[in-house]
Structures are given as structure tokens and as C-alpha cells.
A = this chain, B = another copy of it.
Amino acid sequence: MTDLAATRGLFALPDGVVYLDGNSLGPLPRGAVERLRRTVEAEWGERLIRAWNECGWIDLPTRLGDRIGRLIGAPAGSVTVGDTLSIKVHQALASALEMRPERRVILTDRGNFPTDLYMAQGLVETLGRGHGLKTVEPEAVADAIDGTVAVLMLTEVDYRTGRRHDMAALTRQAHAAGALTIWDLAHSAGALPVDLGGAHADFAAGCTYKYLNGGPGAPAFIYVRPDLQNAVRPALSGWLGHESPFAFDADYRPARGVARMRVGTPAILQMAALEAALDVFDGVDLAMLRARSVELSERFITGVEASCPDLALASPRDPEMRGSQVSFRHADGHAIMQALIARGVIGDFRAPDLVRFGFAPLYNDEADVDQAVAALSDILATRAFDRPEFRTRGKVT
């Protein structure tokens, strides 16, 4: 079993930086540098087109899918990697709606990430069959599940507040009402134990550039429950989801299994970096990772509440109800985050008033937490965030 104190050395963290934004973009795993060099110079450069077979490029989506599957409670052969989370949400939703043709409601909550909502809105309009996206408060989801719901589509961990849904209970309730479920694991995968199989989730999707540290623009993944896979019609029926892509047939016939959710040519450079990033998780006990995450976030909340009375906790106080991030509200949140970043404490800001901090025990420790608390309390006590340079700059996930 890997000691979490040892994994920090596997990342190339810059000196003087306390990085609490791995929930936006995970840091560079040292192994990714060498892995990319090999993929670029030895594989692309030397083997050229032959690398697709010789170097296993063509199977990377499947191979990486199985490795991610281990982290989210998904059996081998139920996850494939590619595209972006937006595209994977579209695929899951298009498939799920076709499996409930008599129903018209997509139920979601205000804690879902906007692109999930936008992709649903776009699909509803494309279908033109009177589907509706019903968006309720996170606390109201359970009561809104009824026999009109075709699909319950939620992000397990709220990207703003870190509030965590009970995946197993909501999935059970959705199934009892005859609905299917789509779980967005953007803020779950690699951050806490997920048990898609145990929860009987139908579909899931996630990104790999946050807690999985796959790098900027790393590909997404999609999970389809094994017994549903061959009943799914891929709406985005690309050639690499064909049962025989290199026959170049004129007609689409879906591959067996989750491979039918592949679409186009896989992004090999991104996948090479991701493969190295997943090496870091080898031997990591996710229950231990989760326990460390709770320790760090509890220490952070306790410290901030003791020294920053102007900050209001926006995350659930009960760690069981949280993912691996903590958010506070402040009307000057944007300027406060800019001031923190100027001191080397990197979190991020989410409009209108949230400062957000992610805790990733693969590389964060108590010293990070204590430095962040000290910087934050000093910035608030001295109103350092009032300086004009902190009132203008933009910020991007």
C-alpha cells in the first residue's frame, strides 16, 4: 500500500506554492514528462503510423477506462475514455432518453455544472419532442423523483459548494420510480471512493484533469452499466465505436460493450499524460485517501472559522456530506482569491461570491492547510484584498 506522504514527491509542484486548486486542474505528475517524451519522440517520431498498433495507441481508451474503473467501482469493460465531459454527458443522456421513450422529464439540480445543463438543453431542442429539463435545489431532488422522470442527471459533488449527493439512495429511488440515472463524477473520481457498481448507477461520466491529474484538456470518460451496454444506441456513432472500424463499411453497426461509446480518433498525447497520471494511484487505498482528505478539510474549516469571522462556510459542515473541497462565501471573494494567489496560495473563485479550495492528499498536507489559513486570515484582517490589482484580473477553471 502506498504511503500518502510519499506520493507528494511524484508531482512537480513549484516552490513557494500551496496548491489547493487540483479540483480545477491537477498538478503535473513527474512521470507524465517522461511518458510524453517517449510517446512523442520514440512512438510518434520513430514508429509513425505503425505506433497505432505497435505501441497500443488504438486500445488506450479501453486500457485507461479499465484503470479509471478501478477508482470508481466500475468493472473491467464498463468504462471508455475520450472526448470531453460535455460530449460524454450528451451520449449518456441521448441513450437514456431513448430507453424511456414514454417519459419527458430530465431531473437535475442547481448544483450541476452548467455544461451538463447546457448539453441537456441542446439535446432537448434537437429532439423536439417536448422533453423538459427540471432543475430543483439540491435538497429537493429526492422529493422531485416521480413517475414522469426519464432520467435523473446529477453531479455527485457540487462544483461550487462541495455538497455530496447520496448516489446509492438516489439511484435506488430513481429506479423505484422507473427512471435511469446519469452521475457526473467530475469532482469525485480520484477524490473519494465511488461505487458505481454497488449503487447500480446506469450511466456516469467524468473528467480526468481534476483529481486524476491528467493535464489540461485531458479526456473524459463514460461508464455504462454492463447489462445496459448492448441495448444502448450510440447517438454519436463515430467510426471507432463501430464493431469493425477498419472494415470501412458503409453502415454503422455498434461495437459490443462500452466500446460503442467511442467516437473519433483518440487524443493520444493527452492519453499518454493521463496514463502516467494514473500510475500515481497504483497502490493507493481510496478509503485512506478519503480519510486524509477529511482530516485536511476539517483542519482547514476549523482554522478559517477560528481566524476569519467574515467568511461564511458554503460547504456542508458534516464531512460525510462533502466531497474533497471546501468553499466559503464573501462579497469580495474574487479579490480575496486574487490576493491569496499573489501570496502563492492557489484556490479559485466561483461567481458570485465563492472562494473554493480543493484538498488532494496525494500532494497536500497539514503544512499546506496551515499556510492557507494563515494567508487567508492575514488578508482579511489587513483588508489586503482591497488593493486595486486584486480587483481586476480574470480567472478561469
Interface residues of A (CB under 8 A from B): 12, 14, 17, 19, 21, 24-25, 27-28, 32-33, 36-37, 40-41, 43-46, 48-53, 57-58, 83-87, 90, 94, 110, 113-115, 117-119, 121-123, 125-129, 135, 207, 209, 215-220, 233-240, 242, 245-252, 263-271, 273, 341, 346, 348, 350-351, 393-397
- Excluding A50-B346, A52-B216, 10 further A-B contacts by CB distance (< 8 Å) are A27-B44, A52-B397, A53-B396, A87-B238, A87-B263, A114-B250, A118-B242, A118-B252, A267-B270, A269-B269
Q: Mind listing 29 A-B residue pairs with CB under 8 Å?
A: A19-B48, A25-B44, A25-B48, A28-B41, A33-B37, A44-B215, A44-B216, A48-B346, A49-B346, A49-B348, A49-B396, A83-B87, A83-B264, A84-B264, A84-B265, A85-B265, A86-B238, A87-B264, A122-B237, A127-B128, A215-B268, A216-B265, A217-B266, A219-B267, A247-B351, A248-B351, A267-B267, A269-B269, A270-B270
Instruction: For A264, give the chain B residue with the smallest CB separation.
Output: B84
Cβ–Cβ < 8 Å partners of A209 in chain B: 265
Assuming the contacts A28-B40, A263-B87, asked whether A271 and B217 have C-beta atoms less than 8 A apart, the reply is yes
Write the nearest CB–CB distance from A339 to chain B, whole angstroms. 14
Copies in the complex: 2
**Contact residues in B for A264 (Cβ distance below 8 Å):** 83-87, 115, 220
Q: Which of A58, A237, A245 has the most CB of B within 10 A?
A: A237
Complex Cα gap A25–B266 (Å): 13
